């Protein structure tokens, strides 16, 4: 196996000096991964509950994906959408086979944001209307269109003007959503489980009411399952927990296990409103991503990772509840499958993230007081046990700080 050419200090120095300063960094140089673990340049091992922001669904460097990519890369690395390709046909056939019933046509791109951009354009073209309703707390990416329907103002404000016709509804409140509907609305866009804003699960019945409202007003319903889809929550699609099917489905993140890919899936009559040239992507549907995507879907299905995510997710969540809830600094533990979060009563999440990394555990955060966990679905019970024990140790320290504050 090739070893890195640069030492750790030099890697950090180059990235800090030459990369746009838009990422809050954890001081680790990762060089290798397998399953739910990654290793840094010094050979130190980490349990990975960050999972590349939820991308490593079937585990890092799954042998089936590695094999498929190697095979493809030696045969053909690029094939533009204007030419037919075997890897692409195989991939979209698989993707449609796991998609909700009726969603049978695909536009392929290279990221979550691009999957959203396509959905917005498709919705405008199909309905001939301009406006969108998105959710408070929603996150859909950072290109101009996706950013327009993303809730956080600090992400949006510096880059205005964005798409003007966007309204935000309180997530989970059907009456407020209804009051925002006017004749110019093309689509309602929702993450069935909100990720970035801290694993927010809708009240039972809400998505069904949104579906009914959209049907009644002839508005398209777009589900962004970029983070919560593909078995993460214990079902192939998070929306299946409530038995609701969208008109347009956006998928990305783990779909090709790390090779960039995005997919926008819709019924034939909706997708076919797009004409030649109206939406294209040079890399979209490239053979490498498609080969990786097929291997990923096969693995999700053959290793029954939806069931596994549900089982291990229940264990993980219960263990966090048992071991963390007794600390006053922990406000709430939430989760669906292996999409888990807990809130703290202090804005100290950065300390917890860095403390976890120093103890061989990688985690994510949402805002300044929410810890988020998106481990690979293949994470083992021993790895879950280790993660919880590290988190408990760190939370105990934060709890002492909270007590000291309250007494001073
Ligand atoms: C990550 C994410 C996106 C954006 O995906 P990128 O690949 O980063 O552009 C969109 N929607 C949701 C729900 C996400 O979690």
pLDDT at residue number 297? 98
Query: What's the CA-to-centroid distance between 253 and ligand 1, angstroms?
Result: 7
The whole-angstrom separation of Cα 346 and Cα 369 is: 6
User: Ligand 1 center to residue 58 CA distance, Å?
Assistant: 18
The rounded average pLDDT for each run of 10 residues, N- to C-terminus, in the chain (408 residues) is 82 97 96 98 98 97 98 98 98 98 98 98 98 98 98 97 97 98 98 98 97 98 98 98 98 98 98 98 98 98 98 98 96 98 96 98 96 98 98 97 87
Predicted confidence at residue 408, as pLDDT, reads 78
Contact 77, 286 (CB under 8 A): yes
Task: State whether the beta carbon of 227 lies less than 6 angstroms from ligand 1.
Answer: yes
Written as six digits, the tokens of 407 are: 């007494």
CA distance 121 to 10: 43
195 lines ligand 1 (CB under 6 A): yes
Choice from 113, 228, 230, 258 to test ligand 1 binding pocket (greatest atom count within 8 A of CB): 113
pTM assigned to the model: 0.97
Atom of ligand 1 nearest to the CA of 141: 4
73: left (phi over 0), alpha (psi -120 to 50) or beta: alpha
DSSP β-bridge partners for residue 155: none
Are 44 and 368 a contacting pair, CB within 8 Å?
no
Ligand 1 centroid, distance to 3 Cα (angstroms): 31
Spatial contact of 49 and 363, defined as CB atoms under 8 Å apart? yes
| Residue 140 in contact with ligand 1 by CB distance below 6 A | yes
- Ligand 1 closest atom vs CA 225: 13
How far, in Å, CA of 140 to CA of 142, rounded?
A: 7
Distance (Å) from CA 138 to ligand 1 centroid: 10
């Amino acid at each position: 196996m090739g070893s890195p050419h640069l030492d750790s200090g030099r890697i950090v120095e180059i990235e800090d000096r030459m990369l746009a300063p838009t990422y809050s960094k954890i001081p680790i140089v990762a060089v290798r991964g397998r399953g739910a673990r990654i290793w840094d340049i010094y050979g130190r091992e980490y349990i990975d509950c960050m999972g590349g922001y939820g991308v490593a669904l079937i585990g890092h460097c799954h042998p089936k994906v590695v094999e498929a990519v190697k095979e493809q890369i030696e045969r053909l690395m690029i094939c533009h959408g204007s030419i037919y390709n075997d890897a692409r046909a195989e991939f979209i056939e698989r993707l449609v086979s796991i998609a909700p019933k009726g969603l049978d046509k695909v536009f392929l791109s290279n990221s979550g944001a691009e999957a959203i951009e396509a959905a917005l354009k498709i919705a405008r073209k199909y309905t001939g209307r301009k406006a969108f309703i998105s959710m408070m707390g929603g996150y859909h990416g950072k290109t101009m269109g996706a950013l327009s329907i993303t809730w956080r103002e600090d992400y949006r404000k510096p880059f205005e003007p964005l798409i003007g016709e966007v309204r935000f509804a309180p997530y989970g409140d059907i009456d407020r959503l209804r009051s925002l509907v006017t004749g110019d609305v093309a689509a309602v866009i929702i993450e069935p489980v909100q990720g970035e804003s801290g694993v927010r699960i809708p009240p039972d019945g809400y998505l069904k009411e949104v579906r009914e409202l959209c049907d009644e007003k002839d508005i398209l319903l777009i589900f962004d399952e970029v983070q919560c889809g593909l078995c993460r929550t214990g079902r192939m699609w998070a929306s299946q927990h409530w038995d609701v099917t969208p008109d347009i489905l956006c998928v990305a993140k783990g779909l090709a296990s790390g090779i960039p890919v995005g997919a926008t899936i819709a019924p034939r009559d909706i997708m076919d409103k797009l004409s030649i040239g109206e939406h294209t992507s040079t890399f979209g549907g490239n053979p490498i991503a498609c080969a990786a995507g097929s291997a990923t879907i096969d693995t999700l299905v053959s290793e029954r990772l939806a069931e596994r995510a549900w089982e291990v997710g229940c264990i993980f969540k219960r263990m966090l509840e048992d071991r963390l809830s007794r600390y006053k600094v922990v406000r709430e533990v939430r989760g669906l499958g292996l999409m888990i979060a807990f809130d703290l009563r202090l804005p100290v999440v950065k300390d917890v993230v860095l403390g976890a990394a120093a103890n061989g555990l990688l985690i994510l955060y949402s805002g300044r007081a929410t810890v988020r966990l998106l481990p690979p679905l293949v994470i083992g019970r021993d790895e879950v046990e280790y993660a919880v024990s590290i988190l408990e140790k760190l939370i105990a320290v934060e709890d002492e700080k909270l007590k000291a504050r309250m007494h001073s």
